[in-house]
Amino acid sequence: MAEFSASVYQNEFLPDGGTDVHAIVTVSCSGAGAAGQTGSGDAGEIIIVDTSGSMGADGVRAAGQAAQTALDQILDGVWFAVISGNDRAKLAFPPSPEPVMVRMDQFTRQAAKDAVARFYADGGTAMGTWLRLASRVFATVPSLTQKHAILLTDGENQHESPEVLTATIEAVTGQFQCDCRGVGVAWQVDEVRRIATALLGTVDIIPAPDQLAAEFSSLIQKAMSKGVATADMRVWAPQGAQVLFVRQVAPTVDDLTSRRTEVNALTGAYPTGSWGDESRDYHVAIRLAAKGIGQEQLAARVQLAIGDQVVAQGLVKALWSADEALTTRISPEVAHYTGQTELADAIQEGLAAKAAGDTATATTKLGRAVQLAAQTGNEEATTRLRKVVDIDDQDTGTVRLKRSVEKADEMALDTASTKTTRVKK
Amino acid sequence: MTSTTQTVCPSCGGPISDADRFCEACGAELTPTSPTTPAIDTDTEPTIELNPGASAVPGPCRSCGGTIGADGYCETCGTKATKPRDHFSEQPAPWVAGVCDRGIRHSRNEDALAIAADPEPGSRALLVVCDGVSSSLDSDVASLAAARAARDVLVAGHAKGLGTESSRNSAVVARMKAAADAASDAVLENTSPDSPNPASCTFVATVLEDGLLVAGVVGDSRAYWFPDEAEAVALTVDDSWAAELIATGVPRHEAETGPQAHAITRWLGKDAPDHTPRTTSLNVTGPGWLLVCSDGLWNYCSEAAPLADLVRQTAAANGGEPLATSSALVDWANAQGGQDNITVALARI
């Protein structure tokens, strides 16, 4: 049985007239078990592979091999399907004109492997059609509580307007989770990140096709270890208070604020997807009406809920004090993740400016990113930034844009921009 | 004031010791620097049960009337639920009641209240208030133990002496001394022998029996008699620097707002030089209000006459009901700032 715990890190002391309370809430899960085997419903997995013409014969062969490796990792008993996508989506397995899924066993696994071996490159790219088909396929098995997909693409979404893709993303949000991977350098990080973020998944670059199999294998293994199908973060704030934001800040930055659904007038629920044995950090900010010196009140109850069951709770408090030694202290956890969030923004904005030819803004933003990465000890980010900029002084954030940059390095910096380092507690 | 190391309060300039958590003068929160002071856990409940057998389920939120959650906070407005020790009341008979409250500025309630009364209005009432010294450890536990021990001694003895007025008075005064002894013992029992900062508290008690009213005091908690048809009387004189200044001719307001205003010269506790209560006696000849209170109330209204007006007006607004009136007086003190713990006990005679 999965066990959850929540810990709160904050400075609860507010000065006279202070209104804003910030806290980092760490939620940890242990004993999650395996997907579809905890008695709380079945698990479903769909592998979506880009088979557009741009993949070419070699690309499609590599993708097929990767899909075969992925199929090996799907646990017996898990419902699954394989979709091949170009400017249309096609159910590659099970072979059926109508949406359908089957349970994994030795026979279906072999049949599916045979089917993906027959992939061939043809046509354009319309990812929205792939997502819609996946949603319909999942819907054929009502017992599924955990629905996860991996999506592989190699190019831009050329055969579908951005508006159609946006509408599709909205339509399938909440239907299933999706980790997205781009192979090569011809795909758009922004576009794929939009899909992954909305569908509570990750995005990353796979520079060369021969790295596909290992990545797919690892993604499926991770999905299979998520024994808790779905959970919500709930944030209660007192009457009259305002929830400024709710962000996941580790392992990646993900702003949940706009995904609120109402539990009751004072409590909002934010989807967090499935959970394995892991720990995630959330940054919650609440604005209260100021109270008198010496008064104490609860600023937020931060809970993790599975269905209607609250499985962990952390209390965020506010205590007004006249003691400046207490009120001016900044929680190291809050400071760390505030820096990491700004780092993610600085990288994305810097790269966007660079792409738009705005060298001055790009230099400033990426310089700030270098500074923040150094300050918050995010060495991975520093390493990735070094491939895009020459660093003169990381303390002041003085950098120069590199004259020639590997496109893959720039994309890797972009996709990894939301990855954070844990604060040392 | 019981400590040897003297520094000044950053808020009002009053004297404080390096172990103080609050300034005795202005109530400002301090950060104790004394290395011998253990960390204060304000969430620790006192070891004494307030209402034995009473349900532990907290009542509605005192701020908005909402439901208190299992986590101890209101489910609507988030206000921290009052701990039983932070606010409690007693009403042993319809004509006698008291309320003891944490106030606003202090993080815990070190005031204590213990009262007893016979059902017959105006017959017999015993009121005890102790105010824990906030610079000492466990004063909240010690003050409540002291108040209850004193009350029990006062309740148990009902000696009438030889029947003459003077012997009756002597008997009550002797009982008052015994009650102070019992209170002092209770404080000592709640002080660890090697405490660097032994618990200490004030003591004020009144005995009303058959028309005789006796008040005894150690420290700066007070008793007043407010007859309906005569002038208000302060039954006690504080054992404080302010009182000594007043005795030398310094105006009361000036003495009681000076930096040393709240430094008391006598108290109950391990390091107390003497805890014999100073007593005053008078014969009650007509109806009136008996008030026993801590400095959390009289800080905001010290003179007998205006305090009598305040009590009478508050009583009139509450239908003359002692509990509602006590509660309203506590609310009034909180509205003035609630700088200290507040205790108000009233008997309608």
Give the mean pLDDT of A179-198. 95
Where are the domains positioned within chain A? 3-32+230-323, 42-224, 333-415
Token pair, residue A194, equals 């939009």
Residues in chain B whose Cβ is within 8 Å of chain A: 11, 28-31, 64, 69, 71, 73-80, 104-107
CB-CB under 8 Å, A238 with B74 = yes
Residues from chain A contacting residue B78 (CB–CB below 8 Å):
237-238, 241, 288, 297-299
| pLDDT-based confidence at residue B80 (cuts at 50, 70, 90) | confident
| Cα–Cα distance, B90 to B99 (Å, whole number) | 7
Q: B133 or B5, which is more confident?
A: B133
| Cα–Cα distance, B271 to A67 (Å, whole number) | 81
Q: What's the fold here for domain A42-224?
A: Rossmann fold (3.40.50)
* Least confident among A79-88, B20-29, B130-139, B312-321: B20-29
* Least confident among A286-290, A292-296, B296-300: A292-296
Residues from chain B contacting residue A293 (CB–CB below 8 Å):
29, 104-105
Establish if A322 touches chain B: CB-CB under 8 angstroms: yes
Confidence at residue B36, expressed as pLDDT on a 0 to 100 scale: 33
* Least confident among A166-180, B52-66, B148-162: B52-66
| pLDDT-based confidence at residue B35 (cuts at 50, 70, 90) | very low
Residues from chain B contacting residue A321 (CB–CB below 8 Å):
29
Residues A301-320: pLDDT tens digits?
999 999 999 999 999 999 99
Backbone dihedral region for residue A298 (phi beyond 0: left; psi -120 to 50: alpha; all else: beta)? beta
* Least confident among A207-211, A233-237, B185-189, B257-261: B257-261
| pLDDT-based confidence at residue B33 (cuts at 50, 70, 90) | very low
Confidence at residue B40, expressed as pLDDT on a 0 to 100 scale: 36
Closest Cβ–Cβ partner in B11, B71, B107 for A322: B11
Is the pLDDT at B31 greater than 80? The verdict is no
Where are the domains positioned within chain B? 83-348
> Using an 8 Å Cβ cutoff, are A139 and A172 in contact?
no
| pLDDT-based confidence at residue A40 (cuts at 50, 70, 90) | confident
The per-residue pLDDT of chain B, averaged, comes to 84
Mutate to test the interface with B, among A8, A234, A239 (most CBs of B within 10 A): A239
Confidence at residue B52, expressed as pLDDT on a 0 to 100 scale: 39
Give the mean pLDDT of B53-80. 78
| pLDDT-based confidence at residue B23 (cuts at 50, 70, 90) | low
Establish if A297 touches chain B: CB-CB under 8 angstroms: yes
Residues 6+ apart with CB under 8 A from A345: none
Confidence at residue B27, expressed as pLDDT on a 0 to 100 scale: 54
Residues A278-287: pLDDT tens digits?
999 999 999 9
| pLDDT-based confidence at residue B113 (cuts at 50, 70, 90) | very high
Nearest residue in chain A measured CA to CA from B72:
A298
Residues from chain A contacting residue B79 (CB–CB below 8 Å):
297-298
> Using an 8 Å Cβ cutoff, are A302 and A286 in contact?
no
Closest Cβ–Cβ partner in A236, A237, A322 for B28: A322
Confidence at residue B105, expressed as pLDDT on a 0 to 100 scale: 80
Q: ipTM value of the model? A: 0.79
* Alpha-carbon distances of B322 from A148, A167, A289, B223, rounded to whole Å: 68, 68, 35, 16
Closest Cβ–Cβ partner in A238, A296, A322 for B76: A238
Is the pLDDT at A295 greater than 90? The verdict is no
B274 CA: distance to closest CA in chain A (Å)? 34
Residues from chain B contacting residue A297 (CB–CB below 8 Å):
73, 77-80
Residues from chain A contacting residue B69 (CB–CB below 8 Å):
301
Residues from chain B contacting residue A315 (CB–CB below 8 Å):
71, 73
Taken in order A180, A186, A189, A192, the sign of the CA dihedral is negative
B10 CA: distance to closest CA in chain A (Å)? 10
| Cα–Cα distance, B107 to B53 (Å, whole number) | 26
| Cα–Cα distance, A100 to A92 (Å, whole number) | 11
Is the pLDDT at B55 greater than 60? The verdict is no
CATH number of A3-32+230-323, picked from 2.60.40.3670, 4.10.780.10, 3.40.50.300, 2.170.120.12: 2.60.40.3670
Nearest residue in chain B measured CA to CA from A265:
B76
| pLDDT-based confidence at residue B12 (cuts at 50, 70, 90) | low
Q: Which has the closest alpha carbon to B40: B23, B24, B26, B20?
A: B20
Go through chain A and tell me how many residues it has.
425
Is the pLDDT at A424 greater than 80? The verdict is no
Maximum C-alpha span of chain A: 73
| pLDDT-based confidence at residue B258 (cuts at 50, 70, 90) | confident
Q: Tokens 């007192």, residue? A: A238
| Cα–Cα distance, A30 to B172 (Å, whole number) | 68
Residues B148-202: pLDDT tens digits?
999 999 998 775 556 677 888 999 999 999 999 999 999 999 887 777 788 899 9
Residues 6+ apart with CB under 8 A from B166: none
Token pair, residue A303, equals 């809970």
Closest Cβ–Cβ partner in A241, A294, A301 for B107: A294
Percent of chain A with pLDDT over 90: 90
Which helix (H) or strand (E) segment holds residue A111: the answer is helix A106-116
Residues 6+ apart with CB under 8 A from A79: A36, A42, A43, A44, A45, A101, A102, A103, A104, A141, A144
For chains A and B, what is the number of CB pairs under 8 angstroms? 52
* Least confident among A235-244, B145-154, B262-271: B262-271
Amino acid at residue number A168: T
Give the mean pLDDT of B9-32. 58
* Least confident among A11-25, B186-200, B327-341: B186-200
Nearest residue in chain B measured CA to CA from A241:
B77
| Cα–Cα distance, B253 to B104 (Å, whole number) | 23
Is the pLDDT at B112 greater than 80? The verdict is yes
Give the mean pLDDT of B211-237. 95
Residues B269-313: pLDDT tens digits?
888 888 999 999 999 999 999 999 999 999 999 999 999 999 999
Give the mean pLDDT of B55-82. 81
| Cα–Cα distance, A366 to A398 (Å, whole number) | 9
Residues A279, A281, A282, A283: what is their CA dihedral angle, to the nearest 10 degrees?
Answer: 170
Closest Cβ–Cβ partner in A238, A315, A325 for B71: A315
Residues from chain B contacting residue A237 (CB–CB below 8 Å):
78
Confidence at residue B198, expressed as pLDDT on a 0 to 100 scale: 84
B57 CA: distance to closest CA in chain A (Å)? 19
A333-415 under CATH 1.10.10.10, yes or no: no
| Cα–Cα distance, A346 to B23 (Å, whole number) | 47
CATH class of domain segment(s) B83-348: alpha beta
Mutate to test the interface with B, among A297, A317, A319, A327 (most CBs of B within 10 A): A297
* Least confident among A67-81, A383-397, A406-420, B149-163: B149-163
> Using an 8 Å Cβ cutoff, are B238 and B229 in contact?
no
Q: Which has the closest alpha carbon to B27: A11, A293, A297, A12?
A: A293
Closest Cβ–Cβ partner in B64, B75, B104 for A292: B104
Confidence at residue A1, expressed as pLDDT on a 0 to 100 scale: 79
| pLDDT-based confidence at residue B5 (cuts at 50, 70, 90) | very low
Residues from chain B contacting residue A295 (CB–CB below 8 Å):
104
| pLDDT-based confidence at residue B49 (cuts at 50, 70, 90) | very low
Q: What is the pTM of this model?
A: 0.73
Confidence at residue B165, expressed as pLDDT on a 0 to 100 scale: 76
